[in-house]
Amino acid sequence: MLKFPNARLLIHNLIAERKLSGEDAIAAGACELGLMSPVEIESVRGQSAAQSDMCGCSRTARLILKKYFDNNDTDAAEAFQKSWESLQERSKKRLGPEAIQATAESHDAAATDQNKSCSQHAPIIFDYLLQEVNRHS
């Protein structure tokens, strides 16, 4: 169930009006909603590029969630792991397992379609990210 329609609209607007990628929109949304500082967001963006086992939006959401728990929870490792598993499970149920898989690195048509699909899922992934943060705050 999606619970944050205004946050989803924020991500849609960041993608449509500012022409951000899905992962950059999630990072900017986290900064605008006060989950992280601009400095922390830049470190997340740098780390996100290094991981390649999931789509950019999922990578960014994972790193934001981890950083959030590191900053705000005394039992960060366990809380993060449970929240990340929950976010992944709900994303897979709603979007399908292939939706959050790694995108191709080449610039062929398949890679373009995968990147477009990843950005289309960004508002939903962001909603689930906020639900996990809300559940543990």
Reported as a single tens digit per residue, the pLDDT across 91-132 is 999 988 776 665 444 444 444 455 567 899 999 999 999 999
Burial of 30 (0-12, 13-18, 19+ CB in 10 A): buried
Are 8 and 126 spatial neighbours (Cβ–Cβ below 8 Å)? yes
**What is the arithmetic mean of pLDDT over 57-68?**
92
Are 76 and 67 spatial neighbours (Cβ–Cβ below 8 Å)? no
Entry field: residues in the chain: 137
Are 30 and 41 spatial neighbours (Cβ–Cβ below 8 Å)? yes
Are 99 and 56 spatial neighbours (Cβ–Cβ below 8 Å)? no
3-state helix, strand, coil split of the chain in percent (to 5) is 75, 0, 25
Q: Quick one: pLDDT at residue 50?
A: 59
**What is the arithmetic mean of pLDDT over 38-47?**
81
- The domain in which residue 96 lies consists of 5-135
Chain mean position to CA 38: 16
Q: Quick one: pLDDT at residue 118?
A: 84
Domain count, the chain: 1
pTM metric for this prediction = 0.83
